[in-house]
Chain A
């Protein structure tokens, strides 16, 4: 799900409050400033399409939400940040790809998120 919101304190709480009320577990949350000034984009991964649809209109009704839409995404993306002798390295790709790179490179430390977009 993609949301365009005003970049203000309290927005995440309000948006996540809707998911909390409807008991929807959000797999991944990516949020940050975007190409427009004073706006931020929130990208959420939700497994259950029906549930996502159920909350969509409620999100659109929020005054800090400018747009909210579902973006179907069948390929599960992953992201990893790997620390090795050579330094830091970011990896993105499908879940399998990222997983295999992480395993192969035997990093000292790493963080990995699944189902990110």
Chain B
């Protein structure tokens, strides 16, 4: 069989039923085989979006999302999509076509060194130069993407690989990769620390979302009488309507979550890499705290925060081991009760009824009116932080965002990928007008392929988050943040064949969202919001909670 057929067949063997990509010269033979298979192919309007769609698909289905791009510009366009998946440990398989092996390195038409370009933004990558190795390489790619800490794997395939013959033996060749290391030797120390703790707190990161350890985390929290804070990446992995769940911590986090982090005596951190957006000034973080750090990736332990105990293993396994080893807590419930009370008090009223519409109001109505299994994606900027702070994620709801790389333009294509992975759920992208303009062409993909997602545009006419920083830290000297002219988004969406509503009054927000939920075509809700509203509270970068800018936030608890 020819290489092109082999690749399609290998994808089928990996249970791939959908993939995202844009063809080109070196991919023609592959696409010719794809046409004869039952794999559904989605044609985004830009390769970056092929990457984000595969990523969104992977985050919802928890299985690899596959994207493909042609050599040269196709591959370079794909880099942002792959890097986004890399920073959030998402198992994306990125295939790129490449010029023929005979001219590799000679600057042939549309040659770019995709192998080198992708290297630092993938978990691993391959360039196939021997057709005999093609089947095992594709198999390895899938295995690596989904073993241990998930991550994207890139395979660069020169055009002559697609036309070479592959034997049945080569096709049948099984592959193995080393098992990820586990190290639970510190388990007893961890249990001792947690049992002795006066003010234990659990912090969960994206690792918990990937290993779906939420229910076990809650059992552990109840056993330890410990509140649970999440990072941005873990939002939705534990139910935010549970009194022990304090919500998202960090720069724009809930004050009660940051309070717990700053005041606990033992911190059990699971599946998080202690990003600077969470910890603020690293040297101040956890100086009074003993940290038990659990991660599937041994290189994360001690990377940003030096812990007392490190446990290497996946969140689900380690949490179960902790539950099995822990005695029912006999210490007093003072800390837990106090945190639950502060949590109640921290739940402010953000059903703001004024015009121009306040963004919090839109998030309030989304929380209220989206179904219990809705998937929310976000763009990057203020929209993302309002969503993270105010949207309530519980039950089967999911929250998908570009946390690590912070890629504007991620949310919309990721929403399309998410909807394809879980068609029965309502999927909404909470967007900013800057981000949406980076990917608005994907309305074409949504309409063409009948992917009914809701785009909730928080339209402030600015690159809002950057403007906020200019306002707060550069004496309001605004440059390059106000859009001199924005398109009529309603007309834009309609031009692509999507539905669209413009919403300018707070009293119309709920109704618009209800219409969005019922819509069976892609729909844009253009909420014209108050451009002067900032995302607050905010702990300025490199500062501690003591320097928090509060704004409307009425947090009454102490500062540190």
Contact = CB atoms under 8 A, between A and B. Distances in A.
B101 to A, nearest CB: 12
A21 to B, nearest CB: 7
B144 A57 contact: no
A17 B298 contact: no
Given A17-B119, A21-B120, A60 B298 contact: yes
Nearest to B115: A10
B299 A13 contact: no
Given A10-B127, A17-B120, A63 B144 contact: yes
A23 B94 CA distance: 28
A54 to B, nearest CB: 8
B297 interface: yes
Nearest to A56: B299
Interface string A69-106: 00000000000000000000000000000000000000
A63 B298 contact: no
Contacts of B119: 10, 13-14, 17
B441 interface: no
B116 interface: yes
B124 interface: yes
Contacts of A63: 124, 144, 177
Contacts of B116: 13
A86 B124 CA distance: 50
A6 B179 CA distance: 17
B115 A61 contact: no
Interface string B439-454: 0000000000000000
Contacts of B115: 10
Given A10-B115, A10-B127, A61 B297 contact: yes
Nearest to A20: B120
Contacts of A49: none
How many B residues are at the interface, by size bracket? 10 to 19
Interface string B130-164: 00000000000000100000000000000000000
Contacts of B120: 17, 21
A60 B178 CA distance: 12
Contacts of B298: 57, 60-61
Contacts of B177: 63
A5 to B, nearest CB: 13
A60 B300 CA distance: 12
Nearest to A21: B120
A33 interface: no
A61 B298 CA distance: 8
B67 to A, nearest CB: 21
Contacts of A57: 298-299, 301
A51 interface: no
Interface string B387-403: 00000000000000000
A82 B116 CA distance: 37
Interface string B279-299: 000000000000000000111
Given A14-B119, A63-B124, A63-B177, 18 more contacts: A10-B115, A10-B127, A13-B116, A13-B119, A17-B119, A17-B120, A21-B120, A54-B303, A57-B298, A57-B299, A57-B301, A58-B299, A60-B298, A60-B299, A61-B297, A61-B298, A61-B299, A62-B124
Interface of A: 10, 13-14, 17, 21, 54, 57-58, 60-63
23 contacts: A10-B115, A10-B119, A10-B127, A13-B116, A13-B119, A14-B119, A17-B119, A17-B120, A21-B120, A54-B303, A57-B298, A57-B299, A57-B301, A58-B299, A60-B298, A60-B299, A61-B297, A61-B298, A61-B299, A62-B124, A63-B124, A63-B144, A63-B177
